Amino acid sequence: MRKILILIGICVAGYLGTVYTVDRFDKRLSQQRLANANLQNVDDLSSKAFNIMNDNGCQYCHTRNSELPFYAGLPVAKQLMEHDVKLAQNHFSIAEVLANIQQRKPISEVALAKIESVMQDNLMPPNLYLTMHWGSRLSDEEKGLLLDWVKAERLKQHPAGVVSDKFKYDAVQPITTTFPVSATKVELGKKLFHDTRLSGDNTISCATCHPLNKGGVDREDTSIGIGGAKGPVNDPSVFNAVFNIHQFWDGRAANLQEQAGGPPLNPIEMGSTSWAQIIGKLEQDPELHAQFADIYPNGITADTITDAIAEFEKTLVTPNSRFDLYLKGDENALNAKEKEGYALFKENKCATCHVGEAMGGQSFEILGLKKDYFADRGNIKEVDQGRFNATKDPHDIHRFKVPNLRNVALTEPYFHDATARTLEEAVDKMAVYEVGTQLSSDDIDKIAAFLRTLNGEYQGKIMQ
């Protein structure tokens, strides 16, 4: 027995010695990388935030293909690091944050919200990581500095003097952005958005699946296209789509113009056989032909058609919701239940992904981050692969663009597969599968009440 205890003691001492050694090595390696980082002309707060994230090895788990230290292949260390890396990659990549600090570019609002959340909840670095990197535990001063940096970055991205002091640092902001457009292109784009000649049998327009009097969606489980064909996915709203970093649930379109070019030639959506077919029909309209000629030297082409539609869609922004008025200082814009709902929305981490003016559209997140959504639902289809269908990157399996929540009360059913029939059901499922929380029926009711305050104005009227 004595020999066994001695042997265990030697192993433990050896392990702890290895931990101490590798942690010191890790610090030196981090400092070497920092010395090579380009932080010229970066403000002091941003450089300090960079130093904290870099010195404490955030990049080991939160960047892809990171050069891990030599001890990553050692017994015990290997298992611990593999576990941390897998979780970290599912949640968040910090590579863009570090690069944007160096290049003095804006930081993603989702990234800021996620960093803020884990600092407030003392979740980073995780305990498993700290067993191998004792020196990486953040001090209260470092956490406070990162939180101050998040606030400062948010203030850079939103106009001053609009939001009340109570909410000026929130991840969610009122809609204030207007997008510069050509009035003549908007007029033309509006006509084309409602023009059924873009479809093969002259029965389907963009507005068929995105009616502007229904929140920009058709409220079907999946849209009904040419000849009664049903699409594979629930249609997102066209309102406030201009805020999205990419278009479609899987992000296969980089911008509004690319998105506008998809449905006309899709065989189960609008079903035209070619752009030549569409252009041939539009060319026969003298008034439309003249309108194109006045705006575009090349006349009617696939590029000019989609450009005009995209220009119109830039105007589909819906500000001045009751919630926006509340953020701006009108305490009477929301009742007590709705205010509690917003507090619960933030408390339950909804605002780590549903950020900014549109309250979403800024990132791709795994559906089923905390609990396996697709295992519970069953009947997995190709469309359920999400972002992977566009990138073919295994990292993107089951990732979907986070929908924006503006006018969400008007856009049921919810999720890409339309499995949530009501707002309450959507809130409940998101809490379970994305946050790992089972909300009470009272909390669900309050959050849903808050979400119903997000209907904004279109053409001077609150959408209903």
Beta bridge partners of 11: none
Tell me which of 109, 153, 269, 338 is the catalytic residue.
Answer: 269
User: Any idea of the CA torsion for 430, 97, 123, 79, to the nearest 10 degrees?
Assistant: 100
Contact between 437 and 352 under an 8 Å Cβ cutoff? The reply is: no
Helix or strand run (H / E) with residue 365: strand 364-366
Give the orientation angle of helix 183-193 with respect to helix 286-295, to 10 degrees. Answer: 140
User: Which structure tokens are listed for 408?
Assistant: 């969400």
The answer for 345, left when phi > 0, alpha when psi is -120 to 50, beta otherwise, is: alpha
* Backbone dihedral angles phi then psi of residue 251, each to the nearest 5 degrees: 70, 25
Which amino acid, one-letter code, is at 38? N
Measured distance CA(54)–CA(37) in Å, rounded: 10
- Which of 273-279's residues contact partners 24+ apart within 8 Å by CB, and which partners? 273/200, 275/301, 275/302, 275/305, 277/200, 278/197, 278/198, 278/302, 278/305, 279/305
User: Angle at CA 31, nearest 5°, toward 28 and 32?
Assistant: 90
Annotated active-site residue 425? The verdict is: no
Measured distance CA(73)–CA(78) in Å, rounded: 5
Measured distance CA(265)–CA(272) in Å, rounded: 5
Which amino acid, one-letter code, is at 446? K
Contact between 313 and 458 under an 8 Å Cβ cutoff? The reply is: no
Hey, which residues are catalytic here? Answer: 269
